[in-house]
């Protein structure tokens, strides 16, 4: 049997999506919530903070809150516990540490097409949390990798409108607002990059990810923190993002930056070198191990994806791409 991720296909509305995810991964969600209760000090005190985030998120993103509510129903865990798990702003075990340092995204624009590559790095056992999701809600279908105890969106996915979103962790302070997991999920429902930007601008943010958004030949890099948003339209033909702020206006609020993030950024930028690349070039780049434990591909690389929007294809490898095989998925 090939080393592949499990696949979940869903059609319906937001409530259907949430319930189906919760029911399919009931054991995983129950085990995760049980583990959090056992390992987070003063868990119940943190849980009391959920309602304020819950209410502000429901105000801005009621349909995404519906997903977390029915995900709770399907999994049989209380909604506050599941919301807490999806709101890292309340408690993040790995904040400001090397264990929170993960993921590399690369983009190469070639004439009338573009290729997007993403390595998902996390703790090794996290590989069992990932699955391939294909979900159709109304006129929008999303496809890519998701985490089985979280809302879809915090890895790398695309939709049938040609919008690709790759997420990278950033380190800044947080405040009361819409949690970044919910923002990443909501972007996937957008039909184009401008709609995604307007959505993000309209929200009161609790913290932020780095969102690399690509559609047709357009590349936009968005970096977010509670008080500031940086939106950069990329003009050069290649682009790289890892786990530190690139925008000058946000660098001064960064709370942590790892050596690994800077090394991966420099190596990927050097390998891209503003040249045109094909699918195999991107596979090779994402498999680079030349910097040992700080390489683009390393022990913590639990998945790799390459998006070819012109062909409406996503290539996904379970585990390290230097040791595994990319398999093709399509809309």
Cα(140)–Cα(241) distance, integer angstroms: 27
3 state DSSP class of 108:
strand
Looking at residue 1, its pLDDT comes to 44
19 in any annotated domain? yes
Q: Domain count for the chain, please give it.
A: 2
Q: Which of 120, 185, 178 is nearest to 159 (CA)?
A: 185
Task: Give the residue from 283, 306, 268, 264 showing the smallest Cα distance to 114.
Answer: 306
Strands 113-121 and 104-110: antiparallel
| Whether 157 and 228 share a structural domain | yes
Same domain for 259 and 185?
A: yes
| Per-residue pLDDT tens listing for the chain (331 residues) | 468 999 999 999 999 999 999 999 999 999 999 999 999 999 999 999 999 999 999 999 999 999 999 999 999 999 999 999 999 999 976 655 555 567 999 999 987 889 999 999 999 999 999 999 999 999 999 999 999 999 999 999 999 999 999 999 999 999 999 999 999 999 999 999 999 999 999 999 999 999 999 999 999 999 999 979 999 999 999 999 999 999 998 988 999 999 999 999 999 999 999 888 999 999 999 999 999 999 999 999 999 999 999 999 999 999 999 999 999 999 8
In a domain, 209, yes or no: yes
Token pair for 166: 């790759």
Q: Are 321 and 304 in contact (CB under 8 A)?
A: yes
In a domain, 204, yes or no: yes
Q: Is residue 263 part of a domain?
A: yes
**Claim to verify: residue 226 and residue 276 sit in the same structural domain:** yes
pLDDT of residue 96: 54
- Identify whether residues 118 and 249 lie together within a single domain: yes
Query: Does residue 1 sit within a domain?
Result: no
Residues 170 and 59 in one domain: no
Same structural domain, 102 and 233: yes
CB 20 within 8 A of CB 10: yes
Q: Same domain, yes or no, for 44 and 110?
A: no
Q: Are 79 and 69 in contact (CB under 8 A)?
A: yes
Q: Are residues 143 and 270 in the same domain?
A: yes
| Sheet of strand 164-168, all strands in order from the earlier edge strand to the far edge | 7-12, 130-137, 140-147, 156-159, 164-168, 210-215, 218-224, 229-233
Query: What residues make up the domain containing 319?
Result: 98-330
In a domain, 200, yes or no: yes
Kindly report the CATH number assigned to the domain that includes residue 304: 3.60.60.10
Q: In this structure, are 250 and 293 located in the same domain?
A: yes
Tokens of 280: 């195999």
DSSP assignment of 272-296 equals: HTT----HHHHHHHHT--TTGGGSS
CA dist list (Å): 245 to 105, 167, 229, 266: 13, 13, 11, 14
User: Residue written as tokens 């987070």?
Assistant: 40
The rounded distance, in Å, linking the Cα atoms of 240 and 117 is 10
240 and 192 belong to one structural domain? yes
Residue 78 sits in the same domain as residue 106: no
DSSP one-letter code for 278: -
Three-state DSSP state, 221: strand
- Candidates 254, 278, 293, 222; CA nearest to 109 is 278
Does residue 2 fall inside a structural domain?
Answer: no
214 and 81: one domain?
no
pLDDT of the residue at 95: 57
Q: Among 57, 85, 113, give the residue marking a domain's end.
A: 85
* Among 35, 58, 85, residue at a domain's last position: 85
pLDDT number for residue 276 = 87
| Residue 172 placed within a domain | yes
Q: Residue 181's pLDDT is what?
A: 98
Domain end among 29, 57, 85: 85
């Amino acid at each position: 049997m090939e080393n592949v991720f499990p696949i979940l296909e869903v059609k319906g509305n937001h409530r259907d999506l949430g319930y189906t995810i919760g029911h399919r991964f009931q054991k995983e969600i129950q085990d995760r919530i049980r583990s959090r209760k056992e390992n987070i000090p003063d868990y119940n005190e943190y849980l009391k903070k959920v309602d304020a985030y819950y209410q502000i998120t429901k105000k801005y993103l009621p349909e995404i809150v519906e997903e977390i509510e029915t995900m709770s129903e399907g999994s049989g865990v209380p909604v506050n516990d599941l919301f807490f798990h999806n709101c890292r702003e309340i408690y993040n075990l790995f904040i400001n540490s090397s264990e929170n340092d993960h993921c590399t995204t690369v983009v190469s624009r070639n004439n009338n097409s573009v290729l997007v590559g993403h390595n998902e790095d996390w703790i090794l056992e996290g590989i069992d949390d990932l699955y391939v999701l294909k979900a159709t809600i109304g006129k929008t279908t999303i496809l890519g990798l998701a985490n089985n105890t979280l809302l879809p969106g915090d890895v790398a996915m695309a939709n049938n409108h040609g919008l690709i979103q790759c997420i990278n962790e950033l380190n800044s302070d947080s405040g009361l607002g819409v949690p970044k997991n919910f923002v990443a999920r909501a972007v996937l429902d957008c039909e184009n990059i401008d709609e995604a930007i307007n959505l993000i601008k309209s929200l009161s943010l609790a913290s932020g990810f780095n969102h690399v958004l690509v559609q047709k030949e357009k590349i936009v890099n968005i970096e977010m923190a509670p008080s500031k948003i940086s939106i950069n339209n990329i003009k050069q033909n290649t682009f790289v993002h890892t786990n530190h702020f690139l925008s000058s206006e946000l660098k001064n609020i960064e709370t942590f930056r790892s050596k690994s993030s800077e090394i991966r950024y420099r190596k990927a930028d050097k390998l891209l070198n503003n040249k045109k690349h094909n699918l195999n070039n991107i596979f090779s780049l994402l498999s680079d191990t030349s910097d040992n434990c700080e390489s683009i591909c390393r022990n913590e690389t639990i998945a790799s994806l390459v998006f070819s929007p012109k062909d409406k294809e996503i290539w996904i490898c379970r585990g390290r791409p230097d040791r595994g095989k990319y398999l093709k998925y399509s809309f």
